[in-house]
Chains A and B, each alone.
Chain A
Amino acid sequence: MYLLIKNGRVVDPSSGTDETLDVLIKDGRVEAVDKKLEAKGAEVLDATGLIVAPGFMDMHVHLREPGYERKETIATGLAAALAGGFTGVCCMPNTDPVNDSASVTRFILDRARAVSPVRVYPIGAITKESKGEELAPYAELREAGVRALSDDGKPVVKASVMRRAMEYAGSLGLLVIDHCEDPDLAGEGSMHEGTVSVRLGLKGIPAEAEVIPIRRDISLARLTGQRVHIAHVSTRLGVEAIRAAKKKRLPVTAEATPHHFTLTDEAVLGFDTNAKMNPPLRGKDDVDAVIEGLADGTLDAIVTDHAPHAYEEKMVEFDRAPNGIIGLQTAVPLALDRLVKTDRISLKRMVDAFSCAPARLLGLTDKGKIAPGVEADLTLFSLRKETRLKAEDIKSLSKNTPFLGMKLKGAVVAVVIAGRVYPAR
């Protein structure tokens, strides 16, 4: 079984490749990447005018199953991932029950394999039931397939617990991902604290609520010598703290979401609950800082924080609405339109943030690259084709997105997973 992808612009930051090449795939693995390849009887995919990149991985997704199947199921979430150009996702453990055991991890993996070709890497909880007290059984979780840990949605409040988590997880090679928010300082805030919150009379969450725990985690990385990954950085203060830590060669990495590099707190002005997320949409200067952080690699990965919520959950008063938006089907076009088209970041860096960086962070050595011998997971996209997401195109069970109907330059055309082609529909 051969698949030959012809004439695509192969962009693979892991090897520094950026030129028009053919990719030959045999039995699900890359056989060769070169000019003018031929293979008798091969299925041919003409990629003229398209970018061929190593498969995109979203390392921050909420699939909601088990427990919240009204919002999303593993099947619908992965359908959205596939349509959005992702060959792999990491799903956060804040399900019901919380993924703090091998049995929940195995359930997710079994279910995922049964319903979708998209590769799933479940993230285990840092603490039992994500309560912030006792460590979850990391070795058991790793055995079941977990590569990273997080209590996402909640910060690990106690420094002593975070320290132990980093020490223990680090010794097992697991990445600890922290949702950095000082819950006491954030209080009952439901949006960014700034000129918009004061106008709307909504309680605000200051940028400092993010940077205080980021600074703590940086200190703990120094103390333990172990890695920590900062989830969804939204503020200039946060970006600058991480940049300074990286300059000192501390093992700190980070990620940012498309909504934090495209929208500001002004999106809340009409009280649209699809502009409510945590961390909240920040000011213009913060958006610029997030983009600068992605450009210079301070923020390693682009992730969606895909957070489905049912219609009736979001159709409530702003301060009572749950946090989060879906993002799997808009992330790539938003990055192409707002970052690459505008020259804020290079195409190479964009591919790195979506593909190579997540693979590196998770220790997936055969992912995030197009090289002979590795499994053929690819994302094919166009810089010219337009994306305009309509409600009926949404594969997620929930439709909570502020990006509906937005015209974006750039579109996912197809995904290849283990040598099989899945056209984006």
Chain B
Amino acid sequence: MNWRHKHLLGIEGLAPEEITLVLDTADKMAEVATRPVKKVPALRAKLVVNLFFENSTRTRSSFEIAEKRLSADTLNFSASTSSVSKGESLVDTILNIERMMPDCYVMRHPSPGAGQLISGFTKASIVNAGDGAHEHPTQALLDAMTIRQRKGGFKGLKVLIAGDIAHSRVVRSNIHLLNTMGAKVTVCGPATLLPPHIESLGVTASTEFEEAIKGKDVVMMLRIQLERQKRGLFPSLMEYYQRYGLTEERLKLAAKDVIVMHPGPMNRGVEIASEVADGPYSVILDQVENGVSVRMAVLYLLLGGGEDVSAH
């Protein structure tokens, strides 16, 4: 199977074999990190521009490490230090960088569809590193890699995603991926953070956490942004924790071999109890580790690094 997409703007529209190809490639990439010299020359002389129009430490570092492990040249461009703060439009920014002959943009942007917008103005590939509440495809892929490591596959797997469903790009990418791979997804959160029509994406929606978590094989907790409470979307962080916090008690309602995931950064004591986050079912730090492998795989496939990475 060959990769045939120029960009990775979202999970929506990817075929199951394509997702599997990324995951298989990521598994091979994981091996690179175990070598004494953690680097392959696959993307030597390729220029990858990291365009971050929104703060991000984790995703950005993860991408940067992935790029470096593949020997790509990198340029970091952040909104606060750039011409964007002087009023330059996104399209103009791209048209300018374009003349520096980049091979790939990794872009984080607060507006949904920002990747689609710039795709009309560049010859380079684009990896969406999060566009508003739309998609965050590499997050879903690293989640999938983590799930596959523990569960062996996706068919029939019962997955619960809980928290701020309305404002989450992670949720949308995960729903598309898990549905495509044959898992069953339930989303759960306070009614004010469950967007109307979410079921149209092919999920079950619930406001009752203890009901929703029953028998689940995977429980994915989402970060609650503290500003949501200030905007009146739920009464208090304490009440949130009491209704939706993942405690050891509640985790017992899930399947015996449940895994607990979180895309980070975590609010301990808000959406997840420390005992669970650090507990035996948690794979949260595996997700971080897999993030680098998945991003290596995506860059490698998009930039045509060749079929077999182990040959390097």
> Chain A residues in contact with chain B, CB under 8 A?
193-195, 197-204, 206, 270-271, 312, 315-320
Contacts and interface: CB of A to CB of B under 8 A. Distances in A.
Contact of B195 (A198, A271, A312): A198
B196 A271 contact: no
B302 to A, nearest CB: 21
B194 to A, nearest CB: 10
B109 A317 contact: yes
A316 B117 contact: yes
Interface residues of B, number: 24
12 contacts: A197-B197, A198-B195, A198-B196, A199-B172, A199-B200, A199-B201, A201-B112, A201-B132, A201-B133, A202-B113, A204-B195, A315-B89
A316 B91 contact: yes
B134 A200 contact: yes
Contacts of A197: 195, 197
Given A200-B113, A201-B172, A319 B201 contact: no
B114 interface: yes
A197 B167 CA distance: 12
Contacts of B109: 317
A105 B231 CA distance: 42
B113 A317 contact: yes
A317 B90 contact: yes
A82 to B, nearest CB: 33
Contacts of B134: 200-202
B158 interface: no
B197 A202 contact: no
A34 to B, nearest CB: 57
A102 to B, nearest CB: 37
Given A194-B197, A201-B112, 10 more contacts: A195-B200, A197-B197, A202-B112, A204-B196, A271-B112, A271-B113, A315-B117, A316-B90, A316-B91, A317-B111
A315 B132 CA distance: 18
Contacts of B56: none
Contact of B196 (A193, A315, A316, A319): A193
Contacts of A206: 196
B89 A198 contact: no
Interface in B108-143: 109, 111-114, 116-117, 131-135
B198 interface: yes
B179 to A, nearest CB: 12
Contact of A198 (B90, B114, B132, B200): B200
B69 interface: no
Interface of B: 12, 89-91, 109, 111-114, 116-117, 131-135, 169, 172, 195-198, 200-201
A197 B198 CA distance: 10
B200 A318 contact: no
B188 to A, nearest CB: 16
A151 B34 CA distance: 66
B121 to A, nearest CB: 9
A108 to B, nearest CB: 31
Nearest to A195: B200
Contacts of B117: 271, 315-318
Nearest to B109: A317
B75 to A, nearest CB: 22
A318 B132 CA distance: 11
B96 to A, nearest CB: 15
Contacts of B201: 198-199
A271 B132 contact: no
B89 A312 contact: yes
A200 B176 CA distance: 12
Residue picked from A194, A197, A203, A317, most chain B C-beta under 10 Å: A317
Nearest to B115: A271
Contacts of B112: 200-202, 271, 318-319
B110 to A, nearest CB: 8
A321 to B, nearest CB: 10
Nearest to B133: A201
A317 B90 CA distance: 8
A286 B133 CA distance: 26
A195 B196 CA distance: 8
Most buried by B among A199, A201, A270: A201
A198 B165 CA distance: 10
A320 B111 contact: yes
Contacts of A317: 90, 109, 111, 113-114, 117
Given A195-B197, A199-B200, A319 B91 contact: no
Nearest to B121: A315
Nearest to A191: B112
A271 B116 contact: yes
A237 to B, nearest CB: 15
Contacts of B133: 201-203
Centre residue among B90, B91, B116, B198 by max chain A CB count within 10 A: B116
Q: Which 10 A-B pairs have the closest CB atoms?
A: A271-B113, A317-B111, A201-B133, A201-B134, A195-B200, A201-B112, A198-B197, A271-B116, A195-B197, A318-B113
A139 B190 CA distance: 53
A320 B132 CA distance: 12
A318 B197 contact: no
A193 B198 CA distance: 11
Contacts of B132: 201-202, 319
Contacts of A319: 111-112, 132
Nearest to B111: A317
Contacts of B198: 198
A4 B30 CA distance: 84
